[in-house]
Structure 1
Amino acid sequence: MAADKYTTIAANGQGDFRDRGSKFLAYAYPIASQQDIKEKLQALKKEHPKAVHHCYAWRLGMDGTQYRTNDDGEPAGSAGKPILGQIDSMGLTNVLIVVVRYFGGTLLGVPGLINAYKTSAAMALEGLPRTEKWVERQYELSFDYPAMGEVLYLLRQCEATIYKQDLQLFCIVNAGIPVAHAAAYLQKLTDIRGMSIKEV
């Protein structure tokens, strides 16, 4: 993986693993923020109110340095870490995997749990399309309406992601500009009359 790009999943995935009556339902999601994570967890807890555990792991950020694992009441290290291990073994970031467990009456022991969470997480990721995205920095661009065409043209050219735009008489655009192209395109954008740029 080139340092100026990162790999994530391009779609949601599901896995279903069973062991001695226990059901492990795994859900994989592409995510962009901690808010995404909260919403996905809340939705799954509503969908599976009778499940005994909602264990999860996520890795976020273009350098992959933000991550979290949660065993949700399972023995320490038996759920979240094996789930994160699957995300990492595929070199992915901006991914959340939640494994919902319905207890089947038989204790699986720590090795059994590690295997169940690892396997169900791997099943959720299996065969999912991957996508490479540019490592970006976010900027807020403020400019006068007449410059809009030129600004949007430059952002398209450098494959920026537009996160928010307010195009009135005075325009504000929040854009993620690929680090690989940032220096050249920030210079071109700065040259536009009345342009103000700040990093978000």
Structure 2
Amino acid sequence: MLFDDTFLTVKQHAEATCTDKGSKFIAFTFPIATDADVKPLLLQLKALHPKANHHCWAMRLSPDRSVFKVNDDGEPSGTAGRPILNVLLSKNITNTLVVVVRYFGGRLLGVPGLISAYKAATEAAITAAGVTEQVINDIYAIEFDYLMMNDVMRIIKEEGLHILSQTADNICSITVEVRKSKVNKTIDRLNGLNNIHAKFLYSS
């Protein structure tokens, strides 16, 4: 198998607060599915914390963990967004947005101090959120003649597929989740039956 069919992400939205030399760092974690999820969450936090000096963030997306963005929001370059992302990288977490809201306490922390504070706040929020393993499934629609129902259902049961929806008529249709690592074997079995059409819909 070329590709691991599981990934780690945060279980839920959570927050945690750290302080350093009077500055307050409030970190928020969010499970996200697409890039489009980021902006509304940022706007929501900016509305909740309009007087904060910075809203720094990092996000990581996709099961292969290849998509990421960072934003220092006015902090010195590399002292906020990158440390937040580095925590996501070190914990191998994806499909996650972390925003750290900073209220400046009047004393400068310096570059090492900022990096340490953003990292600590991010780690605390991820601990509060918890981490969970998700399985990547491909969704397929199987169409077949009603007479083939028993054969199709036997394969679905033997392969442990989860049925999302089904309609039974002269031509039947069943939508199933197939674990990514089992797709080739399962679809080959289905295609080995007569008059069966299995169509890929999307991955989840």
The interval holding the TM-score normalised by the smaller chain is: 0.7 to 0.9
Deviations 1:63-94 (A, max 9, x none): 11111111111111000111111112212111
| Aligned partner of residue 124 in structure 2, secondary structure | helix
CA–CA distance in 1 between the matches of 2:194 and 2:47? Answer: 49
Q: What is the letter of the counterpart of residue 115 of structure 1?
A: S
RMSD: 3.4
Unaligned residue ranges in structure 1 (runs of 5+): none
Q: 2:12: which partner in 1? A: 11
Pick the structure with greater CA Rg.
Answer: 2
Q: How does 1:131-142 map to 2 (within 5 A)?
A: 131-136=132-137, 138-139=138-139, 141=141
Q: 2:22: which partner in 1? A: 21
CA–CA distance in 1 between the matches of 2:108 and 2:166? Answer: 55
| Aligned partner of residue 38 in structure 1, secondary structure | helix
CA–CA distance in 2 between the matches of 1:113 and 1:76? Answer: 11
Q: How does 1:145-156 map to 2 (within 5 A)?
A: 154=156
Kindly indicate whether the alpha-carbon contact (under 8 Å) linking 1:154 and 1:189 is maintained by their aligned counterparts in 2: no
Question: How much does 1:123 deviate?
Answer: 0.8
Kindly indicate whether the alpha-carbon contact (under 8 Å) linking 1:158 and 1:181 is maintained by their aligned counterparts in 2: no
| Aligned partner of residue 157 in structure 1, secondary structure | coil
Query: Quick check: 1:99 aligned with 2:100?
Result: yes
Deviations 1:80-118 (A, max 9, x none): 111111112212111111101112222222111111101
Q: How does 1:89-128 map to 2 (within 5 A)?
A: 89-128=90-129
2:161 to 158, 161, 168: 158
CA–CA distance in 1 between the matches of 2:195 and 2:101? Answer: 54
Kindly indicate whether the alpha-carbon contact (under 8 Å) linking 1:78 and 1:113 is maintained by their aligned counterparts in 2: yes
Q: Give the % identical residues.
A: 36
CA shift in 2, pair 1:14/1:142, >3 Å: same
CA shift in 2, pair 1:100/1:4, >3 Å: same
Q: What is the letter of the counterpart of residue 85 of structure 1?
A: N
Q: How does 1:67-106 map to 2 (within 5 A)?
A: 67-106=68-107
Question: How much does 1:157 deviate?
Answer: 2.8
| Aligned partner of residue 126 in structure 1, secondary structure | helix
Q: What is the letter of the counterpart of residue 178 of structure 1?
A: R
CA shift in 2, pair 1:185/1:58, >3 Å: same
Q: What is the letter of the counterpart of residue 197 of structure 1?
A: K
Aligned length: 193
CA shift in 2, pair 1:194/1:93, >3 Å: same
Unaligned residue ranges in structure 2 (runs of 5+): none
CA shift in 2, pair 1:46/1:180, >3 Å: same
Question: How much does 1:128 deviate?
Answer: 3.7
Kindly indicate whether the alpha-carbon contact (under 8 Å) linking 2:29 and 2:129 is maintained by their aligned counterparts in 1: no
Question: How much does 1:176 deviate?
Answer: 5.9
CA–CA distance in 2 between the matches of 1:12 and 1:53? Answer: 20
CA–CA distance in 2 between the matches of 1:193 and 1:131? Answer: 40
Kindly indicate whether the alpha-carbon contact (under 8 Å) linking 1:17 and 1:119 is maintained by their aligned counterparts in 2: yes
Query: Quick check: 1:63 aligned with 2:64?
Result: yes
Question: How much does 1:182 deviate?
Answer: 0.9
Question: How much does 1:172 deviate?
Answer: 9.3
Deviations 1:40-71 (A, max 9, x none): 22221221122221111111111111111111
| Aligned partner of residue 183 in structure 1, secondary structure | helix
Question: How much does 1:3 deviate?
Answer: 2.4
